[in-house]
Structure 1
Amino acid sequence: MTHAPTTTGPRGSRRAPSGRRAARPTSRRRHVWRWVLLGLVVVVLAAGGTGYWLYRDLDGNIEGVDLDRALGDDRPEKLPTSGQNLLVLGSDSRSGANSGLGGGEVSGARSDTALVLHIPEGRREAVAVSIPRDTLVTRPECTGRDGSALPSAQRVMFNSVYAQGGPACVVKTVEEMSGVRMDHFVEIDFAGFKGLVDAIGGVPVTVEKDIHDSASGLDLSAGTHRLDGTQALQFVRTRHGVGDGSDLGRIGLQQQFLVALLSEIKKQDLLGSPTKTYRIADTLTESLTTDSGLASLTALAEFGRSMNGVDPSTMETIMLPVRYDTQDPNRVVAAQPQADRLWKAVREDEEIPESAKKSPAAGG
């Protein structure tokens, strides 16, 4: 069989004779695709390595406390349903990154904000119960911050428990005063709170009246404002510019801001902005302390996803019913029978009755 002659093209390349299709350089293409695939593998591995590094970096930011080890077995029983109770603490420490955030010179740290977040079975709604910091409580026997035994004490201010015994002691105090088991606890300090608000671009709030508080530095006119981190911190700490100037007025602002903050986070498309998501996560985790069950990005993400169905705008905010103490009018105590009714509803995962929401010290 004879072969048709071939001709030589530019640079010595071989051309097929007229009427014949050039042979496909399969071996060369296969070689090119090997390099493409190798490049993709390198990119994926590099991205995976970076992702793992970032994950470890953020994961290492979170400080965890083993509640089971700290509190032992003498605790209320868990809810008989899939409902969850989360104790949220706001720390007013002035140390480290918190220095210079206002509030004057304060030794140690106190629980400036404390609320029990109850998520009923089904996780479609939530109830936030704020505990006034000036409430007189019985502090149970705990282990102090220095590791020594802290004896039980009566008629101590609620926010002093954190300063003397730390977060585990606060959890134990709340459990004993309510009979409600805390499944988790989360603590965020001043710097973390301010950074979170700044990272999401501020939070819109509406005030009905002008607020001028020289103590916190807050100066707002009536209307809607988008608060940055500094203003938000002033907002949740202000009390002299609202109500009767007591801690009870501040709780109303804290609850209002909590709902606004959660609504803003839910509204933003964080998945659409990985850089923004990382910035928020980095800011938050650096100032976060949780129980050991939540002390990882994976656990926090799973808990967050489980609450995805909760609409912040429908979250009910309640203050623990209190009355002014008869011995010290500057302090409050739990009002009965309202407080017992409130905690009973939380324990049994039931709707909070209206009679459990009336607080004599707040005018109802």
Structure 2
Amino acid sequence: MRQDSVRVPRARGSAPEAQDLGWDDSLYERDPGAREPSPGGSGLRRGGPKQRGERGAPRGKRRILRWFATVVSLLILGTAGAGYLYYLHLNGNLGKDDLNLGDSKLDKSSPNAAGQTPLNILLLGSDSRSSRENVRLGGARADRDRKPLADVQMLLHVSADRSNMSVISVPRDTRVTIPKCTDTDDGAVYPENSATINSSLQNGGPGCTVATWEELTGIPVDHFMMIDFAGVVDMADAVGGVPVCVDNNVYDSKSGLRLRKGESVIKGEQALQWLRTRHGFEDGSDIGRAKAQHMYMNAMVRQLKAGTKLTDPGKLNGLAEAATKALTVDKGLGTVKKLYDLGNDLKRVPTGRITMATMPWVPDPDNAAHIIPKPGDAEKVFSMVRNDTALDGKDKKKAAKKSPKPSDPAAPKAEIPVTVQNGTGTATQAPVTGRAALIADRLSQLGFTQAATDATPKSRADTTVSYPEESLRGDALAVAKALGLPESAVRHSSSVTGITLVIGADWRDGTAYPKPAGSGGKDDNKAPDSADALNGDDKSACMKVNPANVW
């Protein structure tokens, strides 16, 4: 995985590294020789980061610190205007990589009627394992040189008008289609395959994970941020701790977390324990851990929004130093100024309009250890993000977008070549055989006699009509109108050479484009219950303790 920056040794006084903080992200087991924690104590042993690709360790290791430190870094950089000149020095700390390694890249999101554009950032956390100390403590010696996995994956969507933010987690063991990716560093080509989404990082780097998300969701990704460092500890200390809640006394021997029933303010190593815990929460799965992570993040944001002061310059500078050394970002986000501007952009979103959710899922029928997107519900969540609709259901009715007339009028139907492709296959559904031929025949009946099929495999959530240049937009609109497709289905794309119709998973049968499921219902503009959404202002949220972990 390419990194354009040179890493420098940690400066004196800077934030401690993961092994200094006791984060043993390798084993997810307590050291046999570690002290038994007392109620309210931390009890984490010291250890280094885990070796790459270890098999056999319990699921979900190393998740929260990656994504959380990423978002927190944005907040820090966004609030540190007074030290802006100092942060220019931090540019060299950042690692940079290519945004998308796939063959097919989605166009950027279209602006709204006011010319504002939504923003989609993929937050990644790798489980890179390279520490000899961790191998000594029980890591898989044979896997120490294996490529890292992206065990934390969250898409942060900021609305075009910056009025709301949606964060969608996808569990690491979700089985998806990983598209063909080409590593721009060494030229290695990784063919398309079906695997768990965390393994996409091994196919050339974070750019392949971005390509996988675009394939899965149909959402164009503008930037990615990947982190493998536990800077969250200093952040928690800097704001004086973060309030969390449990509905019973909890002790998780795996993470060392021990808390009494009710609200506690946690910081330092105890914050790490909260963020690592899964056995102690709900059913002991990674889904429960993600929920705890969402609660912690919301509480942290509320602390900052409420005016919590980061008053220790040395601690703040050390944290910024550590955060930038920890980050790998796409080349379009590769300067501290861009991170600073992004942080300011995110600050505009009120906490009451921040929604954190988990992709609706069901067990994988082919492998009990995996999950797949829940048919209907998962697509609804993705579709809401694609259409810049807030997950909290609080959006005001948007004015109809007025599109400009095409620069060139449509040619006669018989003179418009149309390529029709079958994109009905998804991670949860096999493609419908013959869809492209059926719709091409329908177009021919409607007068588009040059319609022809293309058997190139596709996977598309929404049916789209793409055109390569502005002079062909009128032709694309004519095709959409003939089939009853909405104007929003017509998109400019640099990846096509002519008018291209891709039949998506939203049109799996018939020749008449269907009305969206549930259209007109009262819950059309709100995330389904299966997304387990949590509002940023919900101070009453309290984690359910797994009965097996009550003390």
Q: TM tier, shorter chain?
A: 0.7 to 0.9
The one of 41, 51, 67 equivalent to 2:99 is 67
C-alpha change, 1:253 and 1:51, in structure 2 (3 Å) is closer
Match of 1:350 in 2: 389
Q: What amino acid is aligned across from residue 264 of structure 1 in structure 2? A: Q
Amino acid at match of 1:150: Y
2:430 is aligned to none
Q: Is the alpha carbon distance of 1:190 and 1:137 closer, same or farther for their aligned partners in structure 2, counting shifts above 3 Å?
A: same
Matched residues in 2 for 1:342 and 1:299: separation? 29
Q: 1:172 aligns with which of 202, 205, 211?
A: 211
Match of 1:151 among 183, 187, 191: 191
| Partner Cα distance (2:149, 2:272) in 1 | 15
1:80 aligns with 2:106: no
- Given that 2:390 and 2:526 are in contact with CA atoms closer than 8 Å, whether structure 1 keeps it comes out as no
- The offset of 1:325, in angstroms, is 1.3
CA-CA distance at 1:299 after TM superposition: 0.5
Instruction: Output one character per residue of 1:198-223: Cα deviation in whole Å (capped at 9) or x when no partner.
Output: 44443222222333222222222222
Residues 1:140 and 2:179 aligned together = yes
Unpaired segments ≥5 residues, structure 1: 1-49
| Deviation at residue 143 of structure 1 after TM alignment | 2.9
Aligned to 2:409: none
- Per the alignment, in what secondary structure is the counterpart of residue 329 of structure 1? strand
**Mapped partners of 2:314, 2:299: distance in 1:** 23
Task: Supply the AA of the counterpart residue of 1:248.
Answer: I
The letter of the residue matching 2:111 is P
* Kept after mapping to 2: 8 A contact 1:97/1:191: no
| Correspondence 1:280 to 2:319 | yes
Residues 136, 332 of structure 1: 8 Å contact kept: yes
Does the 8 Å contact 1:218/1:238 carry over to 2?
A: yes
Contact 2:231 2:322 in 1 (8 A): yes
Question: In the alignment, is the contact (CA less than 8 A) between 1:79 and 1:349 conserved in 2?
Answer: no
Aligned to 1:263: 302
- Report what 1:3 is aligned to: none
For the residues of structure 2 that align with 1:202 and 1:83, how far apart are their CA atoms?
Answer: 32
| 8 A contact 2:164–2:390 mirrored in 1 | no
Aligned partner of 2:324: which letter? Answer: T
Task: Report the secondary structure of 1:239's partner residue.
Answer: coil
Query: Structure 1 residues 90, 197: CA separation in 2 closer, same or farther (over 3 Å shift)?
Result: farther
| Cα deviation digits, residues 292-348 of structure 1 (max 9, x gap) | 222211101111111222123541111101011112222110011111111111111
More displaced 10-residue stretch of structure 1: 303-312 or 87-96:
87-96
Aligned to 1:16: none
Q: Report how far residue 182 of structure 1 moved.
A: 0.9
Decide whether the 8 Å contact of 1:83 with 1:119 is kept in 2: yes
Hey, what's the Cα distance between the residues in 2 that align with 1:303 and 1:168? 20
Query: In the alignment, is residue 359 of structure 1 matched against residue 391 of structure 2?
Result: no
Deviation at 1:94, TM superposition (A): 3.4
Of 123, 129, 146, the residue aligned with 1:94 is 129
Q: Which of 260-269 and 328-337 deviates more?
A: 260-269
Structure 1 residues 245 and 254 mapped into 2: Cα distance closer, same or farther (>3 Å)? Answer: same
More moved, 82-91 vs 352-361: 352-361
Structure (1 or 2) with the greater helix fraction:
1
Displacement of 1:75 after TM fit?
Answer: 2.1
Aligned CA-pair RMSD:
3.1
- Secondary structure, in 3 states, of the residue corresponding to 1:191? coil
Change (3 A) 1:260 1:269: closer
Aligned residues: 309
Cα displacement (A) at 1:83: 1.3
CA distance in 1, matches of 2:314, 2:248: 37
* Contact in 2 for aligned 1:71/1:168 (Cα 8 Å): yes
1:182-261 aligned at under 5 Å gives the runs 182-261=221-300
In structure 2, C-alpha distance between the alignment counterparts of 1:98 and 1:268, rounded to whole Å: 40
Corresponding residue to 2:148 among 89, 101, 109: 109
**Aligned residue among 190, 194, 199 for 1:160:** 199
Match of 1:41 in 2: none
8 Å contact from structure 1 (residues 218, 231) kept in 2: yes
1:57 deviation in Å? 3.5
Q: Report the CA distance between 1:171 and its aligned residue.
A: 0.8
| Contact 1:192–1:288 (Cα < 8 Å) also in 2 | no
**Aligned to 1:190, what secondary structure does the other structure show?**
coil
Once the two structures are aligned, what percentage of the paired residues are identical? 36
Contact residue 93 and residue 190 of structure 1 kept, 8 A:
no
Supply the distance in 1 between the matched residues of 2:269 and 2:212 (Cα, whole angstroms).
Answer: 31
Report if aligned partners of 2:88, 2:337 keep a CA contact under 8 Å in 1.
no
The secondary structure found in structure 1 opposite 2:160 is coil
User: One-letter code of the match for 1:217?
Assistant: G
Asked if structure 2 preserves the Cα contact closer than 8 Å seen for 1:322 and 1:361, the reply is no
Letter in 2 for 1:67: L
Match of 1:318 among 357, 364, 382: 357
Relative to structure 1, the CA distance from residue 103 to residue 71 in structure 2 (aligned partners, 3 Å threshold; closer, same or farther) is: farther
Q: Distance in 2 between matches of 1:209 and 1:354?
A: 35
Q: Distance in 2 between matches of 1:229 and 1:141?
A: 42
SS of match in other structure, 1:256: helix
CA contact 1:213–1:219 (8 Å) conserved in 2: yes
Q: Check 1:307–1:55 CA distance in 2 against 1; reply closer, same or farther (3 A cut).
A: closer
1:167-222 deviation line (CA, Å, top 9, x unaligned): 11111101110000111111222333344434444322222233322222222222
Q: Gapped runs of 5+ residues in structure 2?
A: 1-82, 392-523, 534-551
Going from structure 1 to structure 2, the CA distance change for 1:359 and 1:301 (only over 3 Å counts) comes to same
CA apart distance, 1:97: 11
Give 1:113's aligned amino acid: V
Change in Cα spacing, 1:305 to 1:96, as seen in structure 2 (3 Å) is farther
Q: Equivalents in 1 of 2:256, 2:180: separation in Å?
A: 38
What's the counterpart of residue 327 of structure 1? Answer: 366
Is 2:345 aligned against 1:302? no
Aligned letter for 1:61? N
* 1:263/1:348 CA distance change after superposition, 3 Å: same
Deviations 1:93-139 (A, max 9, x none): 23369969x99557443222211111112212211111111111111
Alignment CA distance shift 1:313-1:275 (3 Å): farther
Bigger-Rg structure (1/2): 1
The residue type equivalent to 1:62 in the other structure is L
Amino acid at match of 1:343: F
